[in-house]
Structure 1
Amino acid sequence: MKKIKRKIKILICIILNRIFILIFPLQKNKVTFLSDVRKVMGGNLECVYEYLDDCQYKKIIALKGDHRDKRGFIKKIKLIYHLSTSHYILLDDLSRECNYLKVRKNQEVVQLWHGAGAFKKFGWSRSNTGEDVGPIHKGYRTYTKAIVSSDDIRSCYAEAFHMDISKIKATGFPRTDMFFNDQYKENIKKSFYQRHPRYQGKKIILFAPTYRGAPVSKATYDFSKIDFQQIYETFHEDYICILKWHPALYNNIQRGYVEIPDLSQYNHFYKDFSNYRDINDLLIVSDILITDYSSVIFDYYFTHKPIIYFAYDLDEYTGYGGRGLYFDFYDYVYGAIATTTSQLIEDIQKREMYDEKRQVFYQKFLSACDGQSTKKSCEWIFKESA
């Protein structure tokens, strides 16, 4: 019965989309900013939104925090209307709204994506890992353009989106521009410590791993692999540790699907910032990052601070049946690798920088990011299609 209802809803969306196309013209310079994974504007979407002149462009915002959240009936109809009549539709992740969309002549559906580089396999690339991705990712066929952070990874996105590589351009990622703006970084630090004065004088460890499991609705993490008490006992006098769970994992924690350890006895050391607006702000204020296979490694590169990869399940994660990576894991590494809590503690204490690896990493994954990525992206998306 659920499948029948779902098919009926999709059919209604298709019919409404086609009716709106017949009745209403494409509205020149109307831009819809669409995301099913964020409640507030952020990342590449926000950078482009702020760059565009309000007088020249009509900007529509259509956001929700989770794929599973439902838009109300009226909101859904309005969204279909906006998608049917917008000259430009900009996304930063998968949106199933594209599954029923018929792309009109001169209409642009542009994937800005949410993470720089090309780390974990996504989209159609995941069919090589044994996962059935067809029903989930068929909306990718609507994309007319996509941006990436370097020329070397255009082929990865072409595979993931089933797009001709000529439609993918290395403009750099707009969200990285902030790291080239010294005044912006100083303002972020000042604002952060005004809101959290107790953190003054403490070094900040940012723990931001990605999730495990597929599909994204089953996102989880094996918290037993890390000894939170041992880390507290070693570092609590000089550090605080900010926890930033991946949005998919955090959504499942909030829904009660995933249980996290009770860290209340260490509440002066561990701070959960999972609902913080933008992780890039946390990258700026942190002193060291602990992550694993997360695309946060690409943004963090520009902070010029130590990074540790806590990869306790490397073989499982990268192998067939796991998530899979586009390149060998060690191509992504410009910091220490730890697989146990003891190694993690030792690497935090060492704080090594691995300068030679950093340069190779930049050339492969981030060479188009130069502080002008928003400008370059907008010129390609809007001026070349005007």
Structure 2
Amino acid sequence: MGKVKIKEMSWHSIYLTIKFEGEEVNDFDYYVTDLKNDYNLGKADNNQLVINIVNINDTKLLDNGKWYFYYMKNDKKNILSINPKFGYTLENLDKIYRYGSECYSYIINFQIVDKSILEKKISQQNIVGDKFLINENDLILCMFTTYMKKNKHPEKKDVILESNSLKQGLRKIVFIVTKSTIRSIYAILNKIRKKDGKHILFMSETRVPIGGNLKAIDSRIKERGLDKEFKISYSFSKTLQQSKLKTFFTWSRLLWLIAKQDYIFVDDYVPIFKTITLYKDTKLIQVWHAGVGFKSVGYSRFGKAGSPLPKDSCHRKYDYALVGSNGLIPVYEEVFGIPRNHFIATGLPRLDDYLNQNKISEFKNQFYKDFPELLGRKIIMFAPTYRGNTQKEAYYPYDKINMNLVKELCEHEYAFIFKMHPFITEKIEIPKENNKYIKDLSNYGDINEMFYVTDVLITDFSSNIYEFALQRKPMIFYAFDKDFYQLTRGVHRTLEQAPGVVCERFEEVIEVIKNNKYDMNKLNDFLNESFNDHKRLSSDIAIDKILLNKE
């Protein structure tokens, strides 16, 4: 059976033209399915198929749902995938058909879906697996069809519309009531707890304890003696990993703290500010935990799985947001969905003392004291970002790493360190006989300090390239799922702009290292875009502007 892919799609009014590439294209029957209902689209003519979108389902439009295209011959069903080049134009095909005095609309949206998600749905529908052929590297096309009704109150949630069952509806009602209760408690506490302009709270709901930019600003405040002028409080927890009941009690304490504050510094997504809106006399400052990377976050993912809601997002509520340089303001303007004048190009406070030679020497001495066997070896750090849409789903497919090749590489001059993303809980298995020069140090030290001893960084879409770039050392971007990740997760820019070599196979990574085939040409451009020259410390710029109202 020949392999067929979609290479191009286009609209003309209500007609969708699909052009194919592959073998025996015109010999197959083509179908669309939601895994419950199948509709025959006919055969291709001259390697293309024209579909009347209002006349697929026996003179009806397709119902609300997720639809997949497949082709069949001799009872063999093969899911249609797309050419990667075409995938980058998918968003241009979304359609909205308004009708009924513009009170209603029919929306068609195209996205690429994960093979594992589709296979799970096929299993749930009890479809015989061997009749639906899906290849591992396929970019599977999904067509979302949705009947929508105009919402007269877009600022309000429609519990009935959003619920697929009575149980789900009741849970949403409980959530709404709880949210209203929390807001009321905050309003009362805000009136009771009078402010004096001198209270600062450093907080995070994703990290414990204080670190990074928050720690740098806190330390600098104390170095300048401003802790005698300001009252500083701290709150660090991991509410995203807690039960809803425990989170409610965590938030109860937080509300008491928040209500008293004049300035609140955060370094990541903070769920409580999705629930409450601070009064104008409290300033919320986002210092963000990372530099710029490739993967999309916040509103740059709008419309994709895991994206924030239009209104109920803590990102919308920042009075100030610190960024590394003027060149990065447009990037984070997209991420946070706030006006450009809310950003301060301070640089990152945690990098104020980053290249201090005494600090570097101290870390190196301690590191080689802890791991004397690594002294004299070139250290390769493997530090990719996670896969999955949320913190709870985070994982990395370790089968994409050829440990035999890693072992071979480390037989002589190299050591290989794994520094996995904090969200990834599953540990990589390293055989005892190989753990002398191959180590999992995911729980050891701060990654930015570990860059002092790293000679080569292997990453992918992670923002850790931001700090490592300052070392002016080689980077390799190993993205086995480059097209799939960029087309589904979304990126600010593609890996074609990466300041290093891009590899899609692990064998290529090893080859680059063995032959020193690094690409350093784009590094200077990346540094110029990502960093401003400052005469003052980044933490001082933030403190003077926000706390002391000085330029």
How high is the TM-score relative to the length of structure 1? Answer: 0.89
Matched position secondary structure for 2:235: strand
Percent identity over the alignment is 28
Question: What is aligned with 2:11?
Answer: none
Structure 1 position 359 matched with structure 2 position 524? yes
Q: Which has the higher strand share?
A: 2
Match of 2:200 among 1, 18, 31: 31
* C-alpha distance in 1 between matches for 2:268 and 2:283: 16
CA deviation after TM superposition for structure 1 residue 167, in Å? 0.5
Tell me how far apart the structure 2 counterparts of residues 234 and 218 of structure 1 sit (CA, whole Å). 32
Contact kept? 1:179, 1:302, Cα under 8 Å: no
What SS class does the counterpart of residue 360 from structure 1 fall into?
Answer: helix
Which structure has more helix as a fraction of its residues?
1
Q: Match of 2:322?
A: 147
Q: Is residue 2:219 matched to residue 1:44? A: no
Report the CA distance between 1:160 and its aligned residue: 1.6
Q: Tell me, yes or no, if structure 1 residue 138 matches structure 2 residue 304.
A: no
Within 1, Cα distance between the matches of 2:355 and 2:335?
29
Q: 1:74 to 1:326 in 2, by over 3 A?
A: closer
Identify if the C-alpha distance between structure 1 residues 66 and 313 changes in structure 2 by more than 3 Å, giving closer, same or farther.
Answer: farther
Q: 2:442 aligns with which of 257, 267, 274?
A: 274
1:77 pairs with 252, 266, 274, which one? 252
For residue 492 of structure 2, what is the aligned residue in structure 1? Answer: 326
CA distance, structure 1, for counterparts of residue 175 and residue 514 of structure 2: 53
Alpha-carbon RMSD across the aligned residues, in angstroms, is: 2.4
Give the C-alpha shift of residue 67 in structure 1.
1.6
Tell me by how many angstroms 1:42 deviates: 1.1
Query: Does structure 1 residue 374 correspond to structure 2 residue 539?
Result: yes
Aligned partners of 1:133 and 1:108: how far apart in 2?
Answer: 21
Question: How many angstroms does 1:3 deviate by?
Answer: 3.9
Question: Secondary structure of 1:271's match?
Answer: strand
Residue 182 of structure 2 corresponds to 13
* Aligned residues of 1:199 and 1:240 also touching (Cα < 8 A): yes
* Aligned-pair CA distance for 1:330: 2.3
Aligned pairs for 1:217-236 within 5 A: 217-236=392-411
- Cα gap change, 1:137 to 1:104, in 2 (>3 Å): closer
Secondary structure class of the residue paired with 1:384 = coil
Q: What SS does the aligned partner of 2:300 have?
A: helix
**Deviation string, structure 1 residues 156-198 (Cα, Å, up to 9, x no partner):** 2122211011111211111222333121111111122223223
How many Å separate the matches in 2 of 1:277 and 1:13?
37
Higher RCO (CA 8 Å, separation ≥ 6 residues): 1
TM normalised by structure 2 equals 0.64
Q: What is the 5 A alignment of 1:104-183?
A: 104-129=279-304, 131-134=306-309, 138-183=313-358
Q: Structure 1's 279 and 370: CA in aligned 2 closer, same or farther, altered over 3 A?
A: farther
The answer to whether the 8 A contact 1:117-1:150 is kept is no
Q: In the superposition, relative to structure 1, how do residues 63 and 262 fare at CA in structure 2: closer, same or farther (>3 Å)? A: same
Q: Could you tell which deviates more after superposition, 176-185 or 299-308?
A: 176-185
Gaps of 5+ in 1: 254-258
Match of 2:387, SS? coil
* Larger Rg, first or second structure (1 or 2): 2
Equivalent position amino acid for 1:80 in 2: L
Give 1:367 deviation, angstroms.
Answer: 3.0
Shift in Å at residue 318 of structure 1? 0.8
Distance 2:481 2:377 in 1: 31
Q: Secondary structure at the match of 1:90?
A: strand
Q: Distance in 1 between matches of 2:460 and 2:400?
A: 13
Q: CA distance change for structure 1 residues 102 and 128 in 2, over 3 Å: closer, same or farther?
A: closer
> Matched residue pairs, number?
376
Equivalent-residue separation in structure 1 for 2:447 and 2:530 (angstroms): 19
Gaps of 5+ in 2: 1-169
Q: How far off its partner does 1:281 sit?
A: 1.1
3-state SS of 1:106 partner: coil
Task: Report the CA distance shift for 1:351/1:65 in structure 2 as closer, same or farther (over 3 A).
Answer: farther
Structure 1 residue 344 corresponds to structure 2 residue 509: yes
